[in-house]
């Protein structure tokens, strides 16, 4: 490897606005959008209890307080009506319940919390009136355990296990990391175009220099992998430290997978450019489209796609570098063992080596029919 070419390739990547945008800023922007979209889903609080007061100036029906507290919907405070009015006007509580001429909910404005309190109270009044009437007419029902079958709580919320929603969201971020690793393919494409004399004038100039073509190629590839890997580290730091997304504690394993992802991505781009006859700009566009398709299949846009592909066409999942990275990261996060992680890592390495061999064979001692 030539340190001279490596140094200047790295320098030119850092100074190239297009590379910086696609390989670093674009993924950061996407991560930010993901965060905005998933903010509420990532929160483990989910539902905030309704603050309600029960006035102490009146006697409340038996069981009301018990039913309210069992519903898990309310934070209950006990105040005089005067205090409750004051708290309500200061918007410290959603409303208060008094029992002057029947149960009554006092609120100042309409909203979700107010509706929950009202529906709950209406439900309580209706059910309790029904019970009194039924028991008046059939007192023997108390002996048969009738009261135990009564449910005062209408279903206002639905339980979704936090871990399940976390699964889906983290997969989005994993797919984003995979996409970022694979964006190195665009730079790989560029490398290939400046190493083949029939593609650019710059390539012709490099080709007539007394530097072995593969040595120059590998130096440029190494610079690209390093640059992309640094971009991935910056992105991961941003996602975990600024956006507070938990990637687990297997940082070294994540790093290794991303590094191999950058290697495979770079060589995918280089191979693509070697095998096609299009101009380098066209190839770069095609490669970026390919990466987006790979990322889509690994769940970047629709997370279920990852599972559909894995179930219906597992072969695609195994040869899709984006899926291998995503799945490897997923395995690290959710499994105690490393089997699935190593399977993905191995497949990714194999793919990278295959891309490398094909590129090397095409580039080797190449002379061109036309320039």
Partner 1 sequence: MIVKIENLVKRYDKLIALDHLNIEINEGEIFGLLGPNGSGKTTVINCLLSLLKFDKGNITLFGKEMRPSSYDIKRNIGLVMQNVAVFEELTVYENIDYFCGLYIKDKDKRKDLVKQAIEFVGLKDFIKFYPPKLSGGLLRRLNIACGIAHHPKLIILDEPTVAVDPQSRNNILEGIKKLNEQGATIIYTSHYMEEIEQLCSRLVILDKGKVIASGTKEEIKGMISLGEKIIVETFNITENHMDRIRKLPNVIDVELRENTLTIRQKNGASNLVNIMSFIAENDISYGKIYTELPTLNDVFLEITGKELRD
- Alpha-carbon distance of 291 to 184, in angstroms, equals 10
The values of phi and psi at residue 344, to 5°, are -65, -45
Considering only residues 112, 275, 302, 371, which one is a binding residue for partner 1 as defined by CB under 8 A?
Answer: 371
- Alpha-carbon distance of 61 to 68, in angstroms, equals 12
State the DSSP H helix or E strand holding residue 93, giving kind and residue range, or none if neither.
none
Considering only residues 86, 133, 212, 279, which one is a binding residue for partner 1 as defined by CB under 8 A?
Answer: 212
From 122-130, 175-183, 274-282, 359-367, span contacting partner 1 (CB under 8 A): 359-367
Whose Cβ is closer to partner 1: residue 198's or residue 240's?
198
From 63-71, 98-106, 207-215, 278-286, span contacting partner 1 (CB under 8 A): 207-215
Considering only residues 40, 139, 149, 369, which one is a binding residue for partner 1 as defined by CB under 8 A?
Answer: 369
The least distance separating partner 1 from the CB of residue 368, rounded to whole angstroms, comes to 6
Using CB under 8 A as the binding rule, whether residue 206 contacts partner 1 is answered as yes
Considering only residues 201, 246, 248, 279, which one is a binding residue for partner 1 as defined by CB under 8 A?
Answer: 201
**Residues 325/174, Cβ–Cβ less than 8 Å:** yes
Q: Is 91 left (phi over 0), alpha (psi -120 to 50) or beta?
A: left
Residues binding partner 1: number (CB under 8 A): 31
Burial class (CB in 10 A: 0-12, 13-18, 19+), 314: exposed
The least distance separating partner 1 from the CB of residue 356, rounded to whole angstroms, comes to 21
From 12-20, 55-63, 128-136, 237-245, span contacting partner 1 (CB under 8 A): 12-20
Tallying the residues shown for the chain, one arrives at 371
Using CB under 8 A as the binding rule, whether residue 360 contacts partner 1 is answered as no
The least distance separating partner 1 from the CB of residue 269, rounded to whole angstroms, comes to 18
Residue 44 to residues 50, 51, 112, 159, 268: CA-CA distances in angstroms? Answer: 17, 19, 20, 12, 40
Of 100, 96, 89, 87, nearest to 57 (Cα)?
100
Using CB under 8 A as the binding rule, whether residue 21 contacts partner 1 is answered as no
From 71-79, 100-108, 205-213, 266-274, span contacting partner 1 (CB under 8 A): 205-213
Using CB under 8 A as the binding rule, whether residue 368 contacts partner 1 is answered as yes
Using CB under 8 A as the binding rule, whether residue 114 contacts partner 1 is answered as no
Q: C-alpha 350: how far from its chain's center?
A: 27
Angle, CA of 343, 349 and 350, to the nearest 5°: 90
What are the tokens at 337? 């063992």
Using CB under 8 A as the binding rule, whether residue 277 contacts partner 1 is answered as no
The least distance separating partner 1 from the CB of residue 213, rounded to whole angstroms, comes to 8
**Residues 329/340, Cβ–Cβ less than 8 Å:** no
Considering only residues 211, 240, 310, 360, which one is a binding residue for partner 1 as defined by CB under 8 A?
Answer: 211
Quick note: the x/- pattern for partner 1 over 160-199, rule CB under 8 A, is -------------------------------------xx-
The least distance separating partner 1 from the CB of residue 209, rounded to whole angstroms, comes to 4
Of 80, 162, 147, 156, nearest to 120 (Cα)?
156
3-state secondary structure of 181: helix
Using CB under 8 A as the binding rule, whether residue 337 contacts partner 1 is answered as no
Considering only residues 146, 161, 204, 278, which one is a binding residue for partner 1 as defined by CB under 8 A?
Answer: 204
Using CB under 8 A as the binding rule, whether residue 361 contacts partner 1 is answered as no
Using CB under 8 A as the binding rule, whether residue 205 contacts partner 1 is answered as yes
Whose Cβ is closer to partner 1: residue 312's or residue 367's?
367
Q: Would you say the C-alpha torsion 51, 52, 57, 60 has a positive or negative sign?
A: negative
- Alpha-carbon distance of 360 to 363, in angstroms, equals 5
Work out the end-to-end distance of the chain between its first and last CA atoms, rounded to an integer number of angstroms.
27
Considering only residues 4, 86, 133, 279, which one is a binding residue for partner 1 as defined by CB under 8 A?
Answer: 4
Sequence-separated (6 or more) residues with CB below 8 Å from residue 319: 347, 351
List of residues contacting partner 1 (CB under 8 A): 4-5, 8, 11-13, 15-16, 197-198, 200-202, 204-213, 216, 365-371
């Amino acid at each position: 490897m030539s340190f001279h070419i490596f140094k200047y390739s790295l320098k030119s990547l850092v100074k190239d606005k297009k590379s910086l945008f696609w390989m670093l800023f674009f993924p950061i922007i996407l991560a930010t959008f993901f965060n905005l979209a998933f903010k509420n889903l990532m929160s483990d609080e989910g539902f905030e209890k309704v603050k309600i007061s029960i006035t102490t100036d009146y006697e409340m029906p038996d069981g009301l307080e018990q039913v309210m507290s069992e519903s898990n919907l309310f934070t209950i405070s006990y105040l005089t009506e005067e205090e409750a009015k004051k708290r309500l006007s200061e918007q410290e509580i959603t409303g208060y319940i008094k029992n002057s001429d029947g149960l009554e909910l006092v609120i100042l404005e309409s909203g979700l919390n107010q509706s929950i309190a009202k529906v709950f109270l209406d439900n309580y009044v209706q059910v309790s009136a029904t019970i009194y009437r039924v028991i008046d007419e059939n007192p023997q029902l108390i002996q048969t355990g009738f009261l135990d079958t009564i449910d005062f709580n209408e279903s206002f919320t639905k339980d979704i296990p936090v871990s399940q929603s976390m699964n889906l969201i983290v997969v989005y971020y994993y797919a984003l990391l995979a996409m970022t690793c694979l964006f190195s393919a665009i730079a790989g494409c560029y490398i290939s175009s400046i190493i083949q004399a029939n593609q650019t004038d710059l390539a012709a100039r490099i080709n007539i220099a007394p530097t072995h073509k593969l040595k120059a190629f590998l130096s440029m590839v190494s610079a690209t992998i390093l640059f992309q890997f640094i971009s991935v580290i910056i992105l991961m730091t941003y996602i975990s430290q600024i956006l507070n997304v938990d990637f687990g504690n297997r940082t070294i394993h994540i790093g290794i997978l991303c590094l191999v992802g950058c290697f495979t991505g770079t060589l995918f781009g280089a191979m693509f450019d070697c095998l096609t006859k299009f101009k380098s700009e066209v190839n770069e566009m095609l490669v970026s489209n390919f990466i987006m398709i790979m990322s889509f299949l690994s769940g970047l846009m629709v997370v279920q796609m990852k599972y559909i592909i894995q179930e219906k066409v597992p072969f695609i999942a195994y040869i899709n570098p984006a899926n291998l990275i995503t799945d490897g990261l997923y395995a690290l996060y959710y499994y105690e063992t490393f089997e699935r992680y190593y399977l993905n890592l191995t497949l990714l390495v194999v793919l990278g080596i295959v891309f490398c061999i094909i590129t090397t064979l095409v580039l080797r001692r190449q002379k061109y029919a036309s320039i």
